[in-house]
Structure 1
């Protein structure tokens, strides 16, 4: 028995109307959204003290690092939801979160070494987003 869901049907129809590069961009942004949600869980785990080891607890980190972790724990899930929904504000929040994380990494590198890999990965995601956006825009212009 087939179950018809109008929301799934409209989402599928919308995805089918997109150009190939636009569809890739939407799927990429959804993958980034999942990454941001997982990263938020990681930051909340640091705040809650899950997996404390040789680095000590959250309270032992420098204040600047604590602020960065709290900021990421709050902004990343919000940006992730925005990216998943395809909202323009989701991209803006994601870029703002990435910029602030990289800036904090340069400003306070002694405490951000654990998060350096995440920062570098997010910068790579931003570059990939720029490439996909340019390709999607060119494809739209050609039509």
Structure 2
């Protein structure tokens, strides 16, 4: 019985070490602050963005633009931040497609939440773009605190 218990304990420890090593490899690919920002951003996206940009980031044709590899998502971060902060009420062509729905300013979001949700968008839906930093959101606002 002692031998069975010791064998089971040994197998458990080996399994735990392998799982821990795999987790460390996965986390090592994403900086800790980016990983937590992405997780926080996903929650914000599901609450504020999902209804227009859809669960897969595909948007709604001719109304709400997709967030998948578009020039707006991969381009100038300050421009993207300002859209979230100030809204967008123009007809716009994005990568050859026209979109006409108004995006309201997301005034309920803190600067950190804006950074988190845009980090999520820029790293999800097949996107692989750099994180949006809190300092960039503050710079886009002209240094005003929220």
Q: Mark yes or no: TM-score above 0.5.
A: no
Instruction: Report TM bin, short chain.
Output: 0.3 to 0.5
Q: Which is helix-richer, 1 or 2?
A: 1
TM-score for the superposition, normalised by structure 2: 0.35
TM-score for the superposition, normalised by structure 1: 0.35
Q: Which is strand-richer, 1 or 2?
A: 2
Q: Which has the higher contact order (CA 8 A, sep 6+)?
A: 1
